[in-house]
Structure formats: C-alpha cells, structure tokens
Structure 1
Amino acid sequence: MKKTVLTFTLAASVFALGACSNDSATNDEVIATSKVGDITQNDLYEEMKASMGDQAFQLLMIKKVLSTKYEVTEDEVNAQLEADKKQFGDNFKTFIAQQGYTESSYKKTLELKLMQEKALVEDMEVTEDEIKAEFENIKNEIQARHIVVEDEETAKKVKAELESGKAFAEVAKKYSIEQAAQTTGGDLGWFNKATKMDQQFLKGAFALKKNVISDPIQSSFGYHIIEVTDKREIEESYEDKKAEIEKQLKLVKADTSTLLTKVAKMMKDADIKIKDKDIKTAFDKFLAATETDTTAEDADTSTEESN
C-alpha cells in the first residue's frame, strides 16, 4: 500500500514568508536601502514565493489548521527545546545553525512538530504493561566501547592484543571495520536496551561485567569485542517517565497515512480560498496523494474482507 509522508521540517524562511504575507502582497515598504537600489517587502515576498512559495504556504496553512484542534503550550515547546539541548549538548547551536534556524525559529518548528505528534497519536492506545516493559528497557544504561571485525578468528586476535595491554582506541583503529572507529576509538557512549542496535549486540553487552573484555559476540555486522566501562541507573522514577514513554510508544504504533487523511479532511473543512494565483495549486498534489492513499486503504480493506 502506498504511503505518503508529510514532512513538517520548517526552514526559518518559511515563517519569514508568512510574516511577509501578513500584509498586502503589493506592500512597497522599503526594508533595505543601498547605493545600487532599495529592496521592498514585496520584493522579498515575490522572491521567496518564487523559490519556495508552495512549500512555505503548505506548511503555514497546515500549522494554522492543526492549531484549531491541537493546542501546544509555550511550556510544552520549552520542554522539548530543553530536551533537544540536552540531547545535542554543546553541539546544539551548531546543529540548529546548520539547519538554517535561530533558536526562535527552531521553537516554531517544535510547535508544529508537537501539533503533528498530538494529531498522530490521538487514537493510539498502549497498555500499562507495555509502558512498564519499556521502562525496564531504559532504566539501566551502560557506557561501552567495541571493536567489530569480519570473522571470529580476527576477533580472538583483537581480544588477545587488548588483554596484553594495548590501548583500546589504537586496536580499534587498527582492526575495526566500523569507519567511525577511526575517530571514536570504538567508543559508543551511553545507551540502554531500547537503543536501536543489533539485538545480539545489546544482549551481549548488557550481560558483561564492568571493565571485562568480552569473548567474540556475533551480530549482523560481524564479530564484536566489547568492554563495558561504566553502568548507571537513570534518576527518574517510573512515574516521572510514564507520560514520555507512553507518547513514544504511541508514536511507534502510529501510521502517518492516518495523519495525512486527518489533515486533508481538516483542510477541506476549513474551506481554504487562495487569492494569490501563483500559489493557487499549492495543495493540489497533497490532496490528490491523500485521496490515493485512502482509496488504496479502502481497496486493501475490501480485499481482506472478501478473503
């Protein structure tokens, strides 16, 4: 069944276009002067519209439509912002700058992202047992490093060199087939059992005692020699993490095609009339795609019922 994914990533310029369009598109207010000529607000609007008008208008309109039903508070945006800052650490400012954001424009993207998530999980259900099981997966974390090679014989050679006293990072750079090892020395940082890693690798790593070099552990990537350098338990209690875990589990279960159908219906109900002829067809492809998905889903359902 064909799936259409709606992207909610917003460049700062999308909101700049929205700001420009708040006034008449014929606004001749001068926003910059120079010896070679002036730039008016309309000049900026027309240039941005030409380069990204459809995309910008789509995202601005979708945000407006979603906001009528899914409220996102300033506190929720700030909480997500702090979580992202914690995740990226000292690299946060570099990360948002590379995406073309200031912190202010990045918060606008978070507001829309949170609206999307609320619409996406609205009808999803998870059980208490599922939440508790996931908490068990995340409550313990380990810090580890590894060296991955293609065969068991090489893995045994790697272990012998480590046990003879050679530096882990140097052995990793020499033998590991993981390209990142050349800069990380095989260090994986902190992770838990819910981290997206090979399950055999996770099982082997969490079975290790601290500062013990493992025997070769096979995964889908090869043979690993692992050393767990530290262990810890998260500070938050089950009650502290329950709401966050519930949300994440619902997002995993959610189907983006449901969101597309929901947004398309809300947009049709909003009776949008586009007055600017240059972006008159901005939503045509989006609405056509969602109608295709809905038709495909109906056909799949009919086939299943007939079987």
Structure 2
Amino acid sequence: MKKFIYILVGVLGFAQIGLAQNKKIVADKIIGIVGDRIILQSDIKNAISDMQRQGGNVPENAECMLLEQALISKVMMLQAEKDSLPVSEEEVEADLDLRVREFIRMYGTQQALEEVAGKTIYQIKDDARESVKERKLAEAMQRKIMEGVKITPTEVKAYFDRIPKDSLPFYESEYEIGQIVAYPKASRDMEKYVIDELNNYKKQVDSRLTTFDQLAKRYSEDPGSKDRGGQYQINRNEKSWDPAFMAGAFRLKNGEISPVIKTKFGYHLIQMVERNGDEAIVRHILRIPPVTDIEVAEATSKLDSVRAKLIAGTIDFPVAAGKYSEDEAAKYAGPFISGRSGSSFVTIDELDKELVASLDKLKIGEFSQPLTFTDDRGKKGVRILYLKSRTQPHRMNVKDDYDKIAQLALEEKKYAAMEKWMNTRIPSYHIMIDSPNAVCPQLQKWTSTPKPTASNQ
C-alpha cells in the first residue's frame, strides 16, 4: 500500500467516468460509509472493469485496495470541504471535458464511446461529475498535506544506507543527448503537385466517383487515421491540434469539404462529418510534399554552419538549439531528448534506431555531423546530435544516482506524512465497512479505531 495512498488518489473518480455502466448491476449494496458519504459495491466492480478494459494490471487484492482508496478519498474530500479548499465548478467541468476527450480518442468517435458506455456524453459527464469533484478535493487536500515536506542530504544518505546491499538496483548506461533539427522545405513545384492532387480528390468526391473515406484510406499519409478513413473526433478548445486545421474544420457545414489547407504537418483536405457545438467528427486526407536531395543538401549546409559555431565555441548548445532547431518538442521540453521518466537521461531502448547507430561514433562533448533521419510522423529531417554525458552500467550509489535516491527518499517521507495525517483523522469520522470486506488486512485500522462521540463529531 506504500504509494497507493497519495499517488493513486482519485482512481475511482477516473474509473467512474461511466464506461462500465452499460453492464447491468444485478444487485448493489453499500460496502462502506465515511461521514455522510457512501461507497457502493458497484463503484469497486466498475473501477476494476475499467482498469481491465484499459489494459491495466489488476492485482489479486484489487477490491481491498480500491475500497481502501475510496475510504481515503472520502476522508480527504470531507476534510478539504471542512478546510474550505478551493475547487471551482469550472475546474471540474474542464476535467470532465478532458477525460471524455481522452476516451473519445481511445474509441475513435463520440458515437463509439456512447455505445460502449450505453449513455450520451452529457449523461456520462453528469454521472461522473460528483466523483470527479471528490477526486479534485482529495487532491487539493493531498497537496496541502505534502506541500511542506522536504528532504535533506543527511536524510538521503540515511535512506540509502537502509537499503540492503543485495537489493540495490542495477542501472544500464544512460545518455544525455541533445539535438538540433532542421526540416528541408519542399520545392514550390512539389507543393503545387500535392495541392493539385488534393484538389483532384475533392473533384472525385463532388462527382460521386468515390467517397472521401475511400480516398483517405488509399492516399492519406497520416498513420493515425488512415485506416479509419481519415476520421477524428475533435474539440474546438483542444490546444494539441494545429490552429489552421481547427479553423478550417470549424468553418465547414456537415458534409462539406474544405479547400486545401496548409499546416505544419503538410497539406489537408477536411470533410465535416458531423458537428455539435464545439465537438465535431471530421475526416481528413494528409499529403506531405516530398523533399529532394537538393532540399536535404540545403538543410545540411545550414546545420554545418551551426556545428562550426558550436565547435568554435561562439555559441553554446542550448542557445543554438533555441535559435536554429525546428523541433516542436524542444520549444517546451528543451533540446535534450526526454526519457520515459521525464528526465533528460535516456536508455538505449528509448531511442530510435537511427539515433542509436550514430551514438557509437560520438565521444562525450562531441557534436555529430548533420545526419538525415525520419521522424515519427514520417517526415524527413536533418539533425545534429550532441552527446553531453553517458553513465556506465552500475549498481545504485549516492555519487552517481543522488537525484534518484533523493526522489525515493522524498516519496517515503511524503508517505509517512500522509500516513500520520490519515491516522489522526480516521478516529474523527464515522466509518463503517461491511463485514466481508472488513477482513482485508489493510482495512483493519479503519475498523479498530474508537467511534467518535457526539461531542467530537
């Protein structure tokens, strides 16, 4: 249970978005009460069903764990209300919108989601609103409890010394790699060729020689939607979409096809399938103008000049990346490649094959020659790699892994603070757990505490 308390706060709020509700519950009952808030058996069953549907690992004691999580969530939510911690209706609504959009992306369309849930989007949001607000109140309480928890170097060392030497993890080599990217610009002739092709597709649909989705399956260069006939569910308020794409889409009426639209990804035709306020189902065909060896050579020459400045020391790498790199991710995360943990250190298995092949030729502190590559969108680019550091395979130690150890020590201290806070609050609430669930080992403390009297409630 060590990290369950404060890392998974609100699991039920997420699961109760409504996807499991299309399964009829034959009988339901109250299996827990905290104060005036109840926990239903269906809450736990549906949470497990949604975890399974999303491909999550469901432990053997999932019901006990989720029931404890629900009890914790209720206590924290009630205390947040007592402390008047601010959670606005706008925050709840934004959270609901975000989660619904995530599920729409998962299932492809709003219609598919509604079929799975057995409800309309509005019903899904209404049913989930209370649990989402509870989760946000619990999170606010969690932040308040933990905001003052800090860790000192002495505590980090003490934490490390408590780890049995035969249990110290082994770390593979990790790399800190930066890159400056340039994308060759297609020639005007190639751009015109692609535009003409897209206009021809539009004429074919208008003439009813074929359908938009058939053309998308055949010609679109968007791997994320090609097999679905180019279909996406979009929302006007989502920031992840290209602004030109969104503006072009929401100017269309149902069934209408846009003129050719240029975005950072290439050129598009967009067809409006169905629109409902800020929500819409669209299809699109993406074509990316091909670049020739001439354009690649121009991008290579540009990066050659940047590399010369780096080697001469007239500009440092972060400044050069900010000034010259065309990598969109670098604008937000910086020029160093991020790993799964979110840090700037990555392992070999987190890198693309083209990049791995180039690493063997680089020493620490060196800059590669400009190298051609293909990104995850299928777009050809040229990049300079910078190998800032590389660790050797090793057992965890304070010298090489201080930040990792400090984070683990901080997590432990936060858990202890949370556990202490929870143990002081449990006796002050009326808590009931039905007898079959009360045998769960982690629930013993919830049933063994003295009941509050009328004077201390």
Normalized against structure 2, the TM-score is what?
0.29
Normalized against structure 1, the TM-score is what?
0.40
Larger radius of gyration: 2
* Larger fraction in helix: 1
